[in-house]
Amino acid sequence: MSKEKKDTQLPRWGMVIDLNKCIGCHTCEIACKVQNDVPLGIWRTWVKEIEKGKYPNVVRAFRPTLCNHCENPVCVKVCPVHASYQREDGIVMVDPHRCVGCRYCMAACPYEVRYVHPQKGIIDKCDFCYHRVEQGLQPACVEACPTSARVFGNLNDPKSEVSQLIATNAVQNLKTDMGTGPRVYYIGLDQATMEIKREVEFVWEK
C-alpha cells in the first residue's frame, strides 16, 4: 500500500521504540507536554501500561503511544478542508488556520491519537516536534528518554540508527491491517498492550 518516495534525498522521519529498554517512567509524556504546551486532559504521547499474570508471576508491559505518521494517513483523506496534511518528509500535520474542529479525523484515526484542544477548539496531535527537527534537534520525547528507548531518525538513510535498528531487530507496527503504513516501529511489543481495553478493567475503577 505504501507509496515509495522516489527522491531518497528527502528524509522520511520515523521512530523506533525499544520496549525492552522502556521502564515506564512517563518522562516522554512530561517532556512533550512541556515542549508543546499541551493543556491538561490531553496528551500527544503517553505510555499505556498493562499488568498481566498472577502473583508471584507478574509482569508490566508498556506501550508508548504517539501519532504513527502513516505513509497513507486516513486523517488526511477524510479531512474536508485539507487541514490534516502530510509534509514531504512524511510528518502528518494539522494546519491550525484551516482546521474547523469537525472531529471527523478523530473518528477515523485507527490509533486514537487525536484530541480536541480545549482552548483552541481545533484538533491537536503529535507532530514529531517538527520545529526541533528542522533545527537538527531530536523530538522532545526522544531527548528526554532516560534509557534511550525512543530512537528518532531518517528512514530513507540506511546508515541511520533507526534504519539499522529496523534491519537488525524484529519490529512491529500497530494495526498494519488498516493499510495506513505506520512509521513508528516497536521492538518487543507485547500483545496485551495492543488489545482493546474492553476485556480488561481499570485498576482504579475498583
Which chain residues interact with other proteins by CB under 8 A?
A: 26, 41-43, 46-53, 60-61, 65, 74, 77-83, 98-104, 106-112, 115-116, 121-122, 174-175, 178, 191-192, 194-203
Of the pair 68, 163, the CB lying nearest other proteins is at 68
Minimum CB–partner distance for residue 40 and other proteins (Å) = 12
Show the 3-state SS of 106-160.
HHHCCCCCCEECCCCCCEECCCCCHHHHCCCCCCHHHHHCCCCCEEEEECCCCCC
C-alpha cell at 185: 516501529
Of the pair 55, 135, the CB lying nearest other proteins is at 55
Q: Which helix (H) or strand (E) holds 62?
A: strand 57-65
Is residue 158 a contact partner of residue 12, using CB atoms and an 8 Å limit? no
Of the pair 26, 138, the CB lying nearest other proteins is at 26
Of the pair 25, 165, the CB lying nearest other proteins is at 25
Minimum CB–partner distance for residue 13 and other proteins (Å) = 22
